[in-house]
């Protein structure tokens, strides 16, 4: 099949004004009756265009036009479409289809998860339920009637408001739902099952009462409080930060265990992966609590940035996803520590998006073509897309940004928007020409920015020379938020030559040419520049900082993000030196600069413990690997372990003392002060556990057993399981026994073992694949074991003999028929083969080729493998 191209976009030939759907759910065959009010959307004087409906894997029972059943010759069907060549300008098309949701392992369309009937329609799942023009620019008003057995499916839900419900013969019942807001088919949802609900009420700023309902299986009823609270907080925040109010009387969230995505923003009826709903202090970590808050916020914020204003076509996916990630990042920042949130988001970008942008799957935030729509849900569209929105806000200023968003929501309400629509709204309210900025949406690759500084003592002038290199050659518009520090760490006024007043903090210098210089006046001594504060642009910065510069920025920079960044640079430089020493067969040593800098951090007082934990954490093996043209997997692992252990030895006293000060006080609470304390404690314990001291291992085992919360228990378990010694096996066995009834906790048990750097991990993962609790049918479980191994454990996944690659490819092939969307994700690590040494390169490539030879490869997987081999 051919790639779909943005340049081929044309408006739909037919609109659908209303959809009446009746879904009769049964254990064997489910019947779907769709009545579509169709209206021609083209000038029929120029010829009547065919009505083409999308459909996949459907058993068709009947097609009727304005009530008249059509004979087989009156329409044309193939694997993907149903076409009628002559339809009136306005007509009702009725289609009946048969489905077997219980056999649907794709988890797209209508399927069953733990007995519950549920749907996932984004991007193209609706066509697996009925024939329909399944594209986001066809928006219709839906009325949905569900019928089902009352005993097994007492709860019947769809989008919008409940219009009617009642009994039917034979122990069945029905519910009719009406959603007054026109929506694209990808936002359709239906749920039927035996569920209980947690409830609350939210009063919007204009006084509307909204019922908040979180539906779960009854054994999870005690794990809903945090989700309900997060939803209310998200609703309040969106009113305050964006002036956005909720628009229905009911907001429902349903948790299901089997789900491809994290969650889905269906209008008024979000369907969630249960990992982003369920939390109790003893089952969920601080990271889980934060992720739940963030994803509940994300799906809620979609109600405006996605649902009221959707995307015109899938090339514009970032107008809803990039924007909504940006919104959820700002929400989480407001709920906790903004600097720490920024650090975590940048780390995510560097771990997932930078490598994607540097490899064979690289694509622009708005791609020009795609082969498999499911593979467009990427870190680039989502997270780089969010960075573009953040840069736009920096460029136009917060106030114009807010007015621009209002204009965007107002102007495009009830329609599908494009990237141009979004950027134009910001251009209008700010009065700026953002034409050059659009390049960011069109071009793949992470820009490199090279900066040099020179100081002239006579004129007290400081000059920054800045050169940007972009893959395609044409310069980007890059906001550079910066400051200048004197040698004591004081902030100097940033006074551009030729400007009256100094630059406000937060205002950016704008880079728009390949190379340019900025001159600052009144700078008495050679300053240390603090560049890209708050990570003001998603670029790689090259500046020749000395260790002394970095130590200064680490301790004194007014921008917390750049304090962290300076520490990461110092750590990276140190580790890379050790890698080089190791390659050259020299003795490994830890230079004093990093020890001193970390010592200073440890004695800096603990005003912001969450920040301190981030500042003390070494860059990951993956992020370090990104710095090398050819990744030295063992070198990085050994060097990083060496630096970590050496730091622990030299700072043992300080680390122990700090760990003691971070011991728990009262019962678990999810709030910034407490999560910061726990993460700093885990960080200190992590260093101390490298000392191979039996008394520390015993203390760690005690923490694992005695903690009243999953955060402390799991951090201890992880350290034990990743360290030689029998305590690890003991703790893993105890953990499994205690939590065997909680699937989300058992996912953690699999993930920890898969990420263990111990030498026998590949064999362990192979054994765990045979464990009775393992199943490929549940995406969370598959990801917990296989993707944790492939992504979070470079040194064991990149087994010299290729066992890790073989294991991954075997499971991609198994997923080809079961769930290709997840299979495609699993194939991605193999596409990075070019970055490895020849032995690994050949083995990785050979596994990709083996997958490519598989007969009837699903489109999602074929797309990744083909690009990976190209
Ligand atoms: N469910 C996915 C998300 O919210 C796709 N829309 O990002
Ligand atoms: Zn989203």
Q: What is the mean pLDDT of the chain?
A: 97
> Is 549 a pocket residue for ligand 1 (Cβ < 6 Å)?
no
Residue found under tokens 């029905």: 174
Nearest residue to 799 (alpha-carbon basis) of 767, 762, 827, 847 = 762
Q: What is the pLDDT of residue 509?
A: 96
Contact 226, 233 (CB under 8 A): no
Contact 265, 377 (CB under 8 A): no
Question: pLDDT by residue (tens digit) across 462-478?
Answer: 999 999 997 777 999 99
CA of 273 to the centre of ligand 2 (A): 13
> Is 311 a pocket residue for ligand 1 (Cβ < 6 Å)?
no
DSSP conformation letters of 267-313: TTEEEEEGGGT---TTTS-HHHHHHHHHHHHHHHHTTTBTTTEEESS
Half-sphere exposure of 752 (CA within 13 A, CB side): 24
Say if the ipTM goes beyond 0.95: yes
> Is 296 a pocket residue for ligand 1 (Cβ < 6 Å)?
no
Estimate the crossing angle of helix 726-739 against helix 743-754, to 10 degrees. 160
| Dihedral sign of CA atoms 155, 158, 161, 162 in order | negative
Estimate the crossing angle of helix 419-430 against helix 317-335, to 10 degrees. 60
Q: Whose CA is nearest to atom 4 of ligand 1?
A: 264
Hey, what's the torsion of the CAs at 254, 256, 262, 267, to 10 degrees? -30
User: Where on the phi/psi map is residue 534: left (φ > 0), alpha (ψ -120 to 50), or beta?
Assistant: left
The question of whether 724 is a catalytic residue gets the answer no
Distances (CA, A) of 155 to 150, 158, 221, 315, 407: 8, 10, 15, 36, 39
Distance separating the N- and C-terminal Cα atoms of the chain: 17
User: Where on the phi/psi map is residue 438: left (φ > 0), alpha (ψ -120 to 50), or beta?
Assistant: alpha
- Largest CA-CA distance found in the chain, in angstroms, rounded: 95
Q: Whose CA is nearest to atom 7 of ligand 1?
A: 321
Q: What is the pLDDT of residue 505?
A: 77
Q: Report residue 243: phi and psi, to 5°.
A: 65, 20
- The separation between CA 670 and the C-alpha centre of its own chain, rounded to angstroms, equals 22
Q: Whose CA is nearest to atom 5 of ligand 1?
A: 264
Contact 105, 777 (CB under 8 A): yes
Q: Which of 530-544, 634-648, 664-678, 750-764 is predicted least confidently?
A: 664-678
Q: What is the pLDDT of residue 470?
A: 78
Share of the chain above pLDDT 70, in %: 100
Distances (CA, A) of 638 to 257, 576, 646, 805: 38, 11, 12, 21
Estimate the crossing angle of helix 317-335 against helix 286-301, to 10 degrees. 130
The residues pairing with 183 across neighbouring beta strands, listed in sequence order, are 140
Atom of ligand 1 nearest to the CA of 325: 7
Between CA 740 and CA 748 the distance in angstroms is: 11
Instruction: Point out the ligand nearest to the CA of residue 120.
Output: 1
Average of per-residue pLDDT across 596-607: 92
Distances (CA, A) of 55 to 97, 416, 870: 10, 22, 31
CA of 805 to the centre of ligand 1 (A): 29
* Residues with Cβ within 8 Å of residue 549, at least 6 apart in sequence: 528, 566
> Is 847 a pocket residue for ligand 1 (Cβ < 6 Å)?
no
pLDDT interval class at 1 (50, 70, 90): low
* Kind and range of the H or E run holding 493: none
Atom of ligand 1 nearest to the CA of 321: 7
> Is 265 a pocket residue for ligand 1 (Cβ < 6 Å)?
yes
CA of 311 to the centre of ligand 1 (A): 13
pTM, two decimals, is 0.98
Question: pLDDT by residue (tens digit) across 542-568?
Answer: 999 999 999 999 999 999 999 999 999
Between CA 579 and CA 613 the distance in angstroms is: 25
pLDDT interval class at 3 (50, 70, 90): very high
User: Where on the phi/psi map is residue 797: left (φ > 0), alpha (ψ -120 to 50), or beta?
Assistant: alpha
Question: pLDDT by residue (tens digit) across 607-629?
Answer: 899 999 999 999 999 999 999 99
Tell me what percent of the chain is helix, strand and coil, each rounded to the nearest 5.
45, 20, 35
Residue 395 CB-density burial (10 A; 0-12 exposed, 13-18 middle, 19+ buried)? buried
pLDDT interval class at 773 (50, 70, 90): very high
- Please say if the pLDDT value at position 605 is more than 90: no
> Is 187 a pocket residue for ligand 1 (Cβ < 6 Å)?
no
CA of 62 to the centre of ligand 2 (A): 36
Reading the block at residue 133, the tokens are 């023009």
Contact 279, 103 (CB under 8 A): no
> Is 233 a pocket residue for ligand 1 (Cβ < 6 Å)?
no
> Is 388 a pocket residue for ligand 1 (Cβ < 6 Å)?
no
Q: Whose CA is nearest to atom 2 of ligand 1?
A: 264
Q: What is the pLDDT of residue 503?
A: 86
Atom of ligand 1 nearest to the CA of 377: 5
Residue found under tokens 């009446």: 20
> Is 124 a pocket residue for ligand 1 (Cβ < 6 Å)?
no
Q: Whose CA is nearest to atom 6 of ligand 1?
A: 264
CA of 122 to the centre of ligand 1 (A): 8
Nearest residue to 468 (alpha-carbon basis) of 508, 514, 511 = 514
- Please say if the pLDDT value at position 665 is more than 90: no
- Please say if the pLDDT value at position 399 is more than 90: yes
pLDDT interval class at 501 (50, 70, 90): confident
Average of per-residue pLDDT across 28-51: 97
Q: What is the pLDDT of residue 500?
A: 87
| Dihedral sign of CA atoms 273, 278, 283, 287 in order | positive
Residue found under tokens 């540097």: 358
> Is 299 a pocket residue for ligand 1 (Cβ < 6 Å)?
yes
The residues pairing with 483 across neighbouring beta strands, listed in sequence order, are 530
Q: Which of 233, 265, 293, 299 is catalytic?
A: 299
CA of 298 to the centre of ligand 2 (A): 6
Question: pLDDT by residue (tens digit) across 274-285?
Answer: 999 999 999 999
Share of the chain above pLDDT 90, in %: 97
Atom of ligand 1 nearest to the CA of 302: 4
Between CA 308 and CA 581 the distance in angstroms is: 57
Domains of the chain: 1-194 (2.60.40.1730), 309-442 (1.10.390.10), 448-537 (2.60.40.1840), 740-870 (1.25.50.10)
């Amino acid at each position: 099949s051919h790639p779909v191209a943005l340049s081929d976009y044309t408006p739909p030939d037919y609109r659908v004004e209303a959809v009446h759907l009746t879904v009769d759910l049964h254990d064997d065959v489910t019947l779907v009756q769709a009545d579509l009010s169709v209206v021609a959307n083209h000038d029929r004087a120029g010829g009547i265009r065919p009505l083409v409906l999308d459909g996949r894997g459907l058993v068709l029972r009947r097609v009727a036009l304005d009530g008249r059943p059509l004979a087989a010759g009156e329409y044309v069907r193939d694997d993907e479409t149903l076409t009628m060549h002559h339809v009136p300008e306005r007509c009702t098309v009725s289609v009946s289809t048969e489905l077997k949701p219980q056999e649907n392992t794709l988890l797209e369309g209508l399927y069953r998860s733990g007995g519950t009937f549920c749907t996932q329609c984004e991007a193209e799942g609706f066509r697996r339920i009925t024939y329909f023009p399944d594209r986001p620019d066809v928006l219709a008003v839906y009325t949905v009637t569900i019928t089902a057995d009352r005993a097994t499916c007492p709860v019947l839900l769809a989008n919008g408001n409940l219009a009617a419900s009642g009994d039917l013969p034979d122990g069945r019942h029905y519910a009719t739902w009406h959603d007054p807001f026109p929506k694209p088919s990808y936002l359709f949802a239906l749920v039927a099952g035996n569920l209980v609900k947690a409830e609350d009420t939210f009063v919007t700023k204009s006084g509307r009462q909204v019922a908040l309902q979180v539906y779960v299986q009854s054994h999870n009823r005690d794990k809903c409080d945090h989700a309900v609270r997060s939803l209310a907080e998200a609703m309040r925040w969106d009113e305050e930060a964006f002036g956005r109010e909720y628009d229905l009387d009911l907001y429902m969230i349903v948790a299901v265990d089997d789900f491809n995505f994290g969650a889905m923003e269906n209008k008024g009826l979000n369907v969630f992966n249960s990992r982003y709903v369920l939390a109790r202090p003893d089952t969920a970590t601080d990271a889980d609590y934060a992720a739940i808050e963030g994803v509940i916020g994300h799906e809620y914020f979609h109600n405006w940035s996605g649902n009221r204003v959707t995307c015109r076509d899938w090339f514009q996916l970032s107008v809803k996803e990039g924007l909504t990630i940006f919104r959820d990042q700002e929400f989480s920042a407001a709920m906790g520590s903004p600097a720490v949130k920024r650090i975590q988001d940048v780390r995510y970008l560097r771990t997932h998006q930078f490598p994607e942008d540097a490899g064979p799957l690289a694509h622009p935030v708005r791609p020009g073509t795609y082969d498999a729509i499911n593979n467009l849900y990427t870190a680039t569209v989502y997270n780089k897309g969010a960075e573009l929105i953040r840069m736009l806000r920096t460029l136009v200023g917060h106030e114009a940004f807010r007015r621009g968003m209002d204009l965007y929501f107002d102007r495009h309400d009830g329609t599908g928007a494009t990237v141009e629509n979004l950027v134009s709204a910001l251009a209008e309210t700010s009065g700026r020409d953002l034409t050059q900025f659009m390049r960011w949406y069109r071009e793949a690759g992470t820009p490199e920015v090279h900066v040099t500084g020179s100081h002239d003592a006579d004129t007290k002038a400081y000059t920054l020379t800045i050169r940007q290199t972009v893959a395609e050659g044409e310069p980007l518009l890059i906001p550079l938020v910066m400051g200048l520090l004197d040698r004591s760490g004081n902030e100097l006024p940033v006074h551009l030559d030729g400007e009256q007043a100094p630059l406000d903090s937060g205002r950016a210098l704008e880079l728009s040419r390949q190379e340019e210089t900025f001159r600052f006046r009144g700078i008495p001594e050679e300053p240390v520049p603090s560049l890209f504060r708050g990570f003001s642009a998603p670029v790689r910065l090259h500046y020749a900082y000395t260790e002394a510069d970095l130590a200064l920025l680490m301790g004194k920079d007014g921008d917390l993000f750049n304090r962290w960044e300076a520490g990461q640079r110092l750590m990276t430089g140190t580790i890379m030196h050790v890698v080089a020493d190791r390659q050259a067969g020299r003795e490994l040593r830890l230079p004093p600069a990093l020890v001193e800098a970390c010592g200073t951090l440890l004695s800096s007082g603990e005003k912001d413990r969450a920040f301190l934990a981030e500042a003390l954490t070494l860059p990951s093996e993956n992020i370090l690997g990104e710095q090398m043209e050819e990744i030295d997997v063992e070198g990085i692992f050994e060097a990083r372990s060496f630096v970590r252990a050496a730091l622990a030895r030299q700072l043992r006293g300080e680390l122990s003392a700090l760990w003691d000060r971070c011991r728990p006080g009262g019962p678990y609470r999810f709030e910034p002060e407490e999560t910061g304390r726990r993460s700093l404690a885990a960080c200190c314990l992590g260093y101390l556990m490298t000392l191979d001291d039996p008394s520390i291992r015993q203390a760690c085992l005690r923490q694992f057993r005695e903690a009243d919360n999953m955060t402390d228990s799991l951090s201890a378990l992880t350290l034990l399981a990743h360290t030689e010694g029998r305590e690890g096996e003991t703790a893993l066995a105890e953990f499994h026994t205690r939590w065997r009834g909680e699937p989300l906790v058992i996912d953690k048990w699999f993930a920890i073992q898969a990420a263990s750097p111990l030498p026998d991990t590949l064999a362990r993962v192979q054994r765990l694949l045979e464990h009775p609790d393992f199943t490929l049918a549940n995406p969370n479980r598959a990801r917990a074991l296989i993707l944790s191994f492939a992504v979070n454990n470079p040194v064991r996944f990149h087994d010299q003999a290729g066992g890790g690659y073989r294991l991954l490819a075997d499971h991609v092939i198994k997923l080809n028929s079961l769930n290709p969307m997840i299979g495609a994700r699993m194939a991605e690590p193999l596409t990075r083969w070019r970055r490895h040494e020849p032995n690994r390169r050949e083995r990785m490539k050979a596994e990709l080729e083996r997958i490519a030879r598989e007969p009837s490869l699903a489109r999602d997987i074929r797309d990744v493998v083909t690009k990976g081999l190209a």
